[in-house]
Structure 1
Amino acid sequence: MVVTTANDVAFGDWSETRTCVVLGGRGFLGRTLVTRLLRLGGWIVRVADSSSHSLQLDPSSASDSLLSDALCSGQASFCHVDVRDTSQIIKVTKGADVVFYMEPTDLDTHDFCNCYMIIVQGAKNVINACRESKVRRLVYNSSADVVFDGSQDILNGDESFTCPGKFQDMLIDLKFQAEGLIRLANNIDGLLTCVLRPSNAFGPGDTQLVPLLVNLAKSGLAKFVAGSGENMSDFTYAENVAHAHICAAETLDSRIVSVAGKAFFITNLEPVMFWEFVSLILGGLGYQRPFIKVPTWMVSYILSLRQCINDKLRFRKYSVSPHYILQLASHTRTFDCSAAQKHLGYSPVVSLEDGVKSTIESFSHLAKDSSFMTYSNFNEQSKAEKLLGSGIVADVLLWRDEKRTFTCFLTLALVFYWFFLCGSTFMSSTAKLLLLVTVFLYGYGILSSNICGFTVERISSSCFEIPESAVKNSIRSMSYMWNRGARNIRLLAKGEDWGKFFKVVVFLYFAKLSLSYSLAVLIGIALVFAFTAFFVYEQYESEIDGIGEVLFYGIMESKGLLLRTLPASITSFLQNYNILHEEKAPAVVKEWE
């Protein structure tokens, strides 16, 4: 949705065409700003970005089609600019009236040096380049996150709100430093600066919020609500952020003292419950809305464990700390936007409702019922589901249907209590259960076929019959297990398979340890394990597999180290034994067959 209002031109003289530079013009918010400037007219737009040396446009995208036409007409141009190189910035800002600085957000957080050079040093380079090029106005896109440390709620916070001294997220810390540099550079060599702090920007082309929610929904974690779920938040549609930047540039052009060197919060002026907003996005894309409330400390503990695993196994890290995302999702964060309304002439041009609709439409390819999602879900199957047979058992233990899973768990828990925790012996509990079943079946059988107009269906005798094929399969399975056990005993009796011997010894040892505990404890542990382990494994499959690989690698390294420290005679004996075992294995198999 594109809206053009008089607010965009409140301070400017449209008889002249002005030149602006959008640094980071191919990023999420940068693209939106470029599109709005081109639609307004009266601007020569220089799109500068470090993502690629050549401009790659998508013909199916309306914004890219507009940019393509502007490039052909000369209304726009593209230049590859690395903000770590001041000379490149000077080259693109020569002759420009205003610079909009939209720094990249998809940075690799494990490379602190690179993040610092792009965010903090990049801000210094942009300031120096603007001064060198005699640029009059610099508008920097910051974030409302620079006043949030995750320790307390913010209710209608304004620009006087004290910024924390310590941040949980490294990128926010660096952005806060960059913001300070931009504001301090105001009115030096004629450069006027302004900082905007949008809160939770979203919209078409979003690379963080919406993709994160979709990934959580695919993994089944989006059904959980961290905390009470009542916390409020301000969200800002991308078109409104772009509009605010243009308002700030126009206001700086009028040299209003109350704007230069200041920071302003930008919101949609429509605070909403955070989890209600998440529900709108996920529901619009066809995913299940969050409904299970869990304590924040529990989610924090799980994230800490996962982050520890990621650090050990060196998996790809997130551009934003998961702990910081949790803080955003469980705290109230609303901001007072009256200063931007009063001094910048800003007011939202797209409502929150319309913004959500446009965002959902732009991400329709990620919707649950799209052909792409259907194809992916049909072909991709988790290891846990394959292990459980992809049937009813898999659906129950992997929590595909929460009602069915909860019913099964409750039933098994009641059976467990009946046989092991009620104080009766196993045989007496079985007798009581059989007595209840007998009374129920007999009472059901003597009921009238019609009671008060309701028909009572009779239980078919086939329900109590066991198919002959099921009996044959059971006997065949028992025979196979008996023959397999007899084969293992024969191999042990020959005294040749040391590997088999050690496996049996280890198995019997653990069996002895298990039997040392009461049967009730073992069954209780198995019950809880079955309803949690497979679900957890499916959610963290790659991490758990990575731990397994690390353990296997460690065992193999320990084995190699042990062999290297053994005397040569023993090493030679083990090697000869392995060769002899490999030669005899086919003969043993043939003899068994």
Structure 2
Amino acid sequence: MNSVLVIGGSGFLGSHVVEQLVNDGGYSVTVFDIRQLSESDDGYCSGVRYLQGSIVDSSSIEEAVKTSKPDAVLHTASPVHGLPEKIYYDVNVEGTRNVISACRAAGVKNLVYTSSTGAVWTGQDFHGVSEDRIGLPVKGYDAYHHTKAVGERLVLSAQQDGMNTVILRPCGMTGYRFFSRVEGQWATQDVRRPSERDKQLIWRMAEVHENKQHTVQIGDNTNLIDYAYAGNVAHAHVLACAKLLTQPNTVSGQSFFITNGEPMPPWDFSRMIWKELGDDGKGRITVIPRFLGLILAILAEIWCRITGSSTQFNRFSVRFITGTQWYNIDKARKLLGYKPTVTLGQAVERTVKWWKTTGAAQHALQKH
């Protein structure tokens, strides 16, 4: 049985990766995360060893790698969007450097690093680009994406020094999967133990719906954007791990775009979620041109600087929602054997079902 250490395994994507490794049955799994899960938490898996610590603390991660003695490390840890820049540099750069150092000290040769499609994005349109057609920019669009790219460079440097590495670049994620801790197997009909951890996309979408803001559209909605189901992305991590352990020469040093392979207009995707949340689609849609959206975003940013407040409505969000961003995943299909098995329609349906049964209550508690 191969031993795997999942860094960030208590997070949204990381916990999905852990569940699939456990479900596969061929791995002994250890989780290292700043938050330690208990049996009552969503995402907890029995039989998994949970270690608490921070990758920003080099001694902490070194001890975790040393004691878990993994055959492979899956580095999925990453801060969410909207945090101070220093956090991204601490976690995505220094933290990744600490992970690589800890692997070297313990003699671990195999490392899978979770990056982002945004690592290569600087605001321009991407129409089905492949990994060999676009490189890492010198300066990323913002701190999150820039530090993800820096992390990629550190991982590639480690590969050149003798490690076997794979870089996965998932796009924006949502999704749903139930996991029965009692039976220890997937239970897609068991709503008593929802283990969905999407506390970013669906929470924002639900707030927009509750505040009746979904009748405003920025841009003409003719652009295509990639989205992904978290379970599909997690499966790509399991495939990459297996390839490094069995056929490292076929994938080592490679980066892969990971999406659902279903690019769609962004407002179509949003309205698919809002429809599941209860929107009848009869409201009048106010369309704001892209250029006007950018002007309003600049004004919102200036206001936030003056008042010391924050906003999700900024130039990044406008450029993201009005730009074209979809990626060719043929390389992942060919070399990893990656095949998205859950469609975006299914993912949205399951995510909103979780929201209605559990997520909305959690959101209300956090707000108060």
- Short-chain TM bin: 0.7 to 0.9
| Matching of residue 297 in structure 1 with residue 291 in structure 2 | yes
Residue matched to 2:254: 262
Q: CA RMSD in A?
A: 2.5
**Aligned-pair identity (%):** 29
Superposition deviation, residue 276 in structure 1? 0.8
Superposition deviation, residue 323 in structure 1? 2.1
| Matching of residue 80 in structure 1 with residue 52 in structure 2 | yes
More helix by share: 1
- Aligned equivalent of 1:46, options 2, 25, 30: 30
Q: Secondary structure at the match of 2:37?
A: coil
Residue matched to 1:308: 302
Structure 1 residues not aligned, in runs of 5+: 1-16, 377-593
Superposition deviation, residue 191 in structure 1? 2.0
Distance 1:220 1:304, change over 3 A: farther
Superposition deviation, residue 350 in structure 1? 1.6
Q: Secondary structure at the match of 1:233?
A: coil
Q: Which has the larger radius of gyration?
A: 1
Contact 1:227 1:330 in 2 (8 A): yes
Question: Could you tell me how far apart the structure 1 residues matched to 2:130 and 2:361 are?
Answer: 45
Residue matched to 1:123: 96
Relative contact order: is structure 1 or structure 2 higher (C-alpha 8 Å, sep ≥ 6)? 2
User: What are the residue-to-residue correspondences of 1:473-492 with 2, within 5 Å?
Assistant: none
Contact 1:234 1:268 in 2 (8 A): yes
Residue matched to 1:561: none
Opposite residue 87 of structure 1, the aligned amino acid is S
- Aligned equivalent of 1:158, options 118, 127, 130: 130
Residue matched to 1:553: none
Question: Could you tell me how far apart the structure 1 residues matched to 2:122 and 2:148 are?
Answer: 13
User: What are the residue-to-residue correspondences of 1:28-107 with 2, within 5 Å?
Assistant: 28-50=12-34, 52=35, 54-58=36-40, 61=42, 63-64=43-44, 67=45, 70=46, 75-94=47-66, 95-106=69-80
Q: In the TM superposition, what whole-angstrom CA distance separates every residue of 1:352-405 from its partner, at most 9, and x where no partner exists?
A: 2221211111111589xx8999x99xxxxxxxxxxxxxxxxxxxxxxxxxxxxx
Distance 1:32 1:181, change over 3 A: same
Contact 2:117 2:169 in 1 (8 A): yes
Question: Could you tell me how far apart the structure 2 residues matched to 1:149 and 1:220 are?
Answer: 31
Distance 1:108 1:199, change over 3 A: closer
Question: Could you tell me how far apart the structure 2 residues matched to 1:366 and 1:228 are?
Answer: 34
Q: Secondary structure at the match of 2:262?
A: coil
Residue matched to 1:214: 206
Distance 1:58 1:89, change over 3 A: same
Distance 1:330 1:131, change over 3 A: same
Q: Secondary structure at the match of 1:138?
A: strand
Superposition deviation, residue 338 in structure 1? 0.5
Distance 1:227 1:153, change over 3 A: same
Q: In the TM superposition, what whole-angstrom CA distance separates every residue of 1:336-362 from its partner, at most 9, and x where no partner exists?
A: 100011111111122222212111111
Distance 1:100 1:371, change over 3 A: closer
Distance 1:210 1:248, change over 3 A: same
TM-score norm. by structure 2 comes to 0.85
Opposite residue 55 of structure 1, the aligned amino acid is L
Q: In the TM superposition, what whole-angstrom CA distance separates every residue of 1:130-160 from its partner, at most 9, and x where no partner exists?
A: 111111211011111112111x211111002
Residue matched to 2:165: 193
TM-score norm. by structure 1 comes to 0.54
Residue matched to 2:86: 113
Q: In the TM superposition, what whole-angstrom CA distance separates every residue of 1:304-335 from its partner, at most 9, and x where no partner exists?
A: 222222222222465xx832222221111111
Distance 1:317 1:47, change over 3 A: farther
Distance 1:288 1:170, change over 3 A: farther
Residue matched to 1:5: none
Opposite residue 162 of structure 1, the aligned amino acid is G
Residue matched to 2:116: 143
Q: Secondary structure at the match of 1:149?
A: coil
Q: In the TM superposition, what whole-angstrom CA distance separates every residue of 1:28-73 from its partner, at most 9, and x where no partner exists?
A: 10111111111221211111111x3x434436x4x43xx1xx2xxx
Residue matched to 2:149: 176
Superposition deviation, residue 288 in structure 1? 6.0
